[in-house]
Each structure stands twice: as structure tokens, then as C-alpha cells.
Structure 1
């Protein structure tokens, strides 16, 4: 029986499994979990671009447990919205990006770890730097930034359609305070618009922070591991290519889900109306039909921008350049100054998550 869902912590090489699925079952029905899964680049892109493929709604069982601020966030996030409501929310996100100040990943890194010593890269850097970069880009004070950084991980669980009671308690505990901080900071920035538009801006600033946590953490971790395996470190724009190739080769977000509002054909197979579809982005990124020598990591790859690690279609991640540049800047500062870095525990353990490939810890010893 095909089981398309597994914990990243329990599979040593998910890419071998994806290769087998692309070869033998590129579009398959997982009856045990009640979902369809697509593995090829063409099928994944088709589902992501389809107007009939909708973001799964919040579970009705979760809604009565959400406080007012949590409900406002879940209703207002562009990432969770479907047409026609999605357009205004995405416009808010694009306005936010247009108003962001430049940030230097290398300078932020220097605030988080000393010039030499030992650290857990995950705890010291990857769990903090992405959200810190967003906060600095909007001019948050140090005290407000610290409050957000201490609490934002609990709020990431709002993105899950189904939540445990413990996750729901964590969301409710921090939703009001983080939303209020974002509202206050945007009032200082003085972005134009009516009350409703300003509300969407604040909500989607929270959304940017929430989405930065896992995706940003994973890219910083996976790109660092790839850099440490290279025979020679990149130079100049090579760091940006490193980040983008990592998003293709070992993306932090392995899959995403859609619900079909009408029947859709993918890979020659008719997927029925109402089907829940697992779009396996990480498999699409290793599709030999699109990427030559797809199982190799190459900074010279000419088409790694065709990868789907940042999604595609209306919900393609608008932060892809910001995220890649942040990771590139931080890694160039950390590794590109002649610093010697030793990986103290080469066997990487991953978090027990279905949709994301996130190292639990990366222990390093490094010199200045």
C-alpha cells in the first residue's frame, strides 16, 4: 500500500523515495490517508497554477477555539486565502515588500553569534535570523523585536488546517500581542490607506514573520550543509546561486496541499472534485525531465530558477529574492572570510514534520 505521508525524521533519504514515485506512480491515490499525490515537475506546476486547486480551509473544529486575534490572522493571511479574497491580501504583501528597508544578513549574523567558538547553528542563527531580518526591515525596536522572536514559533501553527489543543493554546497566547506590535509599527511607518487596508497590512506583516520561520530556518541550515560539502566555497554571486540551488536540491518545504473545487487532470489521470492533493515540491525539483543530472548539486546549473521550492502560481512566495539574498549574505559572512568551520556531529537529525525538512541541530566549531 502506498503511504505518501511520512515524517522527515524517519526517512534517511526522501529523495530516493521521490525518484521511485516519479518512475512508478507519478500521480497516485493514497487511500490510507485519503489524498492524491503528484511527484513530477509538470504535474506539480499544473496543480499549483490551477484555479481549481484551492488552499485547504481551516478545520471547522479549530475555529471555535480561536480568539479574536487568531481569527483575524487566519482570515487575513494571503497565504491562506483563495480567490477572489486572495487578490487584496496579496496586494497588501506586495506593498509591504515595497516598503521594506534593506537588511544585511552578514551584519545580523554578527549580532547573533561571536566571531569564533562553538554554536548550534539552528538555535543560535537559523531560528532567529529570518524573522529578525523582517523586523529590522520594518524598523521594530529592539524590545519589540525580542518579544516577537520569543513568541513567533508558537504562532506558526496557525498555518496548519488541523491543530491540537496545545497548539491552539499557543496560538491564542501570542496572537493578540504580535498583531498589536505589527499594527503599532506600521502606524509609525505611516503606510497610506483606509482602515481595512491598514488592517490587512498588519495581518500580512504577521504573515511574513510566520512564514519566515520554517522556510528561512530550513534554507539557512540546508544551504550551510551544502556549502560545507563543496570542494571550494563560492565567490561573489556564487553565494546567491548556492541559496537558489539549495532550494532546488534540498528545499526546506517539501510539500504543500490543495483541495480541488472541480475535477482536474494531472499526468493523464483525472483527479476528482473535492480531492486533497499533496504537491511534492521536493520531488518536482529533482525531476530529470527538467533538470539535467538532477541528483547532483551544481552551482553552474543554468535553470535552477525553474525549481518549485518557492511555489508557483498565485501563491508563489513573494519573498523568494529576499529569502535567498538573506541566506546568501549570512553564509558569505560566516564562511567567506577564511573562517575554518567544523561540523561536530555529521549525522543530521531532522524535525518530525511531514511537510518540512528542518535539521533539529547543527553543532559547529568555528574560528575567526
Structure 2
């Protein structure tokens, strides 16, 4: 491990980690939400406590809001830009120390479109957007159906399984791998890299997690170098081949884009599927309603996204002095936007703590963000979620938990590490149509 990585962790993760831990010991609910296992496992009681402190509150490391209208307006406000880790009230000397130790291309640093503003953001996003249009998503439906059916056939009827490892993770990784032209046999590698690198989306992660993430980043960088060179010689029909042959992005930008698409195309959907299974098993009345009214499945996915958001938070930094709700937010200050809090705002969603697959405005959630940084793959994630969940519960009607599920100890991404189930009997295949 390169020694400069330790200095980088100290500057961008270690300092906020210390501040969060000190504040958590003093009983600060925001610090506990961002940095404690309680917040990762069940963040909603802490979110409701924080909501009671007002629409916009000052915390030790940033401003924060749990209010739907404030979150939505800030996401769409051009006076705010996307966050960088350095914007979380980290002292200037620590920021400069971090800048001395750049990382390989990755999803959480420029030129990844996740963390850049226009005009650079427009330049990076435009060539990728065509792969996620409604028409492009419709073309992927048959492949999603096929992948889902193959995975379900491999699950042992009458046996047990960890639905995250054997199903929820496998559906999106198969699709995004094909979209990027990756060989099928490399999927296990991508899953491991994703698991190791996603903590970088959090603030104040421990050194060990940071070290694993950077090691994975180095290995992935070498892999992408070889993969992109292969695509230069033998381009395919995938989106990464299109980006390579277009020649608009240099090698560094290509790798940053590929790593972002790989992570974003996987992480949201695996959490959506896992959270959906857990919520439907915890609310059998809602599952029965879906069996009686299968046309509600798309709306049920929206309610899962609202009720237990796979992405809990994002942040924006003021590009100029901005007055919000009567409070002056200075240029350079960061506002943490709780998407999970917005999605349970009682001013927008009636009885927000109730899981209701028939909720009329479920689709108004902010789980895919809003504004120019709205998630490119939102339509794909929705489609994958509908097929994966509906097919699972139709094929295994007696599905039940087979142990205690375990959450991932992450703040930004909210999902399960393990989801043990007893599958029960496999439903007989439907009779072929006589028409």
C-alpha cells in the first residue's frame, strides 16, 4: 500500500471521522446518523428526531435538511454544485494535503460526472445518456427477463439461499456488464470491487475500509486499461465501445465513466431488490394485494424506493452566498440533503411511515435525485426491480426469511449485506396459451 494513501485518508476521512465520533459521544443525532451503526441499520428514528430541529439545521461538518421541498429545490438550483469530500468543513491544509495524492480514475472524484458541474458535467453525461433513454431501456427488457428467469431456475426449490449474493446482486451486474462489454466470467470480480469501493461515498470511513477501497481501485484501473485497449482493437455494440470509438474522452475519463456506470448500474438496484424483498415479507398484507392486483408492481417499486431508499443522502455545495428558508448559506458551505428524510416528509406523503404499494404519489420520491444530476439509470433500475421482485414472489409463493438479515454498515447506500431466506416450493409453470 502506497504511504500517500494513508495521508489522503487522514486528510479527507480521518478528520471528519474524528469530528463525527466526538459529536456522537455528545449525543448528536446527526453524527450518529452519519457515522454510527444505529444510523446504518435503521436511520428513520434519527431522521425524525432531526426533522424536529427545523427545515435547515447546522451540524458540526455541514448544513443539513430533511425537508422534501428544500431538498428538491436545492437539487435543481444552479447556485449549488455537487459536493466533493473536501467541502465538508475540512481545514485548508488538510485539503491541500489530499490534492498532493491523486487517485486512479474512480466514481467519486473528477472527472466522474457524479462530482462535476456544467459545462464539464454536460460534456461527460451527453455521450452516455443515449444508453439510458426510454427506448434503450425497452430494448433491454427481454434480456432482463431472461437473466431473471435463469437466476430463479438456479435457486433450490425447498432450500435456502442468501438472496443478495444469489439473486439481487446477480440481476443488475449481468445487465451492466453486458452494457459495458465485460466478459461474463468477470462478474464476480466486479461484485467484489463494488463491495470494497462503495464506502468511499461515505464521510469518515475507517482506515481499513479506505485501504481496501483504494486497493480495489488500483486493480480495477489496471483491468480497465486492458479492457479499453481490447475495445479499441475489437469494438462491440456496447456503450463503452461507443465511447472508445467516438474518441471524445481520454483514457482517464473513459475509466472514470466506466467505473461510475459499473457502480451506479449495480448498487442502487441490488439495494432496491433486497430492500423490496425485506419490506414485502415484513408487510404480508401488501404482498397479498400485489398478488391480487399484479398491475400494482411498478407502483410497489416506487413505494419501496420511497419507503426504504437505496440511496439515503447526497450533498450540494453553495457556489455563491445563498439564502435558504431565511438562513444565509455562505459560498463554499455544504448542505447534506437527506433523500430518505425527504421521502418520508409528512408534508408531501400522508402517513409516511406506512408502507403502501398503492400509494398515489409514491413516484414523487427523490431516491434518484433531481435536476441535472438525476440518476441516468433510474429507468433501468425501476424495470429491473419490477421484473426481479414480481418474478421471485410468483415463482416462490411461500418465500420467507430464513434467518436475521444483516445491513451493510454504510450511510449513503442503504441495503443488505445478507438476506437469508427459505425459498419453499416452486410454483408450477403457467399453462401455455392455446391461442
Q: Does 1:51 align with 2:51?
A: no
* Aligned partner (choices 95, 102, 106) of residue 140 of structure 2: 102
Distance 2:417 2:186 in 1: 27
Partner of 1:114: 155
Count residues with an aligned counterpart. 364
Distance 2:247 2:396 in 1: 51
Unaligned residue ranges in structure 1 (runs of 5+): none
Distance 1:180 1:244 in 2: 39
Distance 1:258 1:272 in 2: 12
Partner of 2:128: 93
Distance 1:286 1:222 in 2: 16
Distance 1:2 1:208 in 2: 35
Distance 1:364 1:283 in 2: 29
Deviation at 1:315, TM superposition (A): 0.7
* Aligned partner (choices 342, 346, 351) of residue 400 of structure 2: 342
Deviations 1:230-252 (A, max 9, x none): 32052433222111111111101
Partner of 1:365: 422
What's the secondary structure of 1:237's corresponding residue? Answer: helix
Higher mean displacement: 241-250 or 152-161: 152-161
Higher mean displacement: 321-330 or 353-362: 353-362
Distance 1:176 1:335 in 2: 40
Deviations 1:127-175 (A, max 9, x none): 3322222123455432344543443433445656777344222211222
Q: Does 1:83 align with 2:118?
A: yes
* Aligned partner (choices 127, 135, 154) of residue 169 of structure 2: 127
Alpha-carbon distance change, 201 to 25 in structure 1, aligned in 2, over 3 angstroms: same
Deviation at 1:362, TM superposition (A): 1.0
TM-score calculated relative to the size of structure 2: 0.75
Distance 2:102 2:149 in 1: 38
Q: Which has the larger radius of gyration?
A: 2
Deviation at 1:39, TM superposition (A): 0.9
Does the 8 Å CA contact 2:107/2:263 hold for their aligned counterparts? no
Higher mean displacement: 266-275 or 52-61: 52-61
Q: Does 1:227 align with 2:268?
A: no
Distance 1:127 1:72 in 2: 19
Structure with bigger RCO (C-alpha 8 Å, 6+ apart): 1
Partner of 2:223: 177
Distance 1:316 1:142 in 2: 29
Distance 2:396 2:187 in 1: 31
Alpha-carbon distance change, 344 to 143 in structure 1, aligned in 2, over 3 angstroms: closer
TM-score calculated relative to the size of structure 1: 0.87
Partner of 1:24: 53
Does the 8 Å CA contact 1:284/1:308 hold for their aligned counterparts? yes
Partner of 1:196: 248
Unaligned residue ranges in structure 2 (runs of 5+): 1-26, 87-94, 427-435
Deviations 1:18-60 (A, max 9, x none): 22322332211113xx211101101111221121222223555
Alpha-carbon distance change, 183 to 111 in structure 1, aligned in 2, over 3 angstroms: farther
Partner of 1:148: 190
What's the secondary structure of 1:309's corresponding residue? Answer: coil
Partner of 2:264: 211
Alpha-carbon distance change, 181 to 240 in structure 1, aligned in 2, over 3 angstroms: farther
* Aligned partner (choices 355, 362, 369) of residue 304 of structure 1: 362
What's the secondary structure of 1:167's corresponding residue? Answer: helix
Alpha-carbon distance change, 166 to 46 in structure 1, aligned in 2, over 3 angstroms: same
Higher mean displacement: 134-143 or 35-44: 134-143
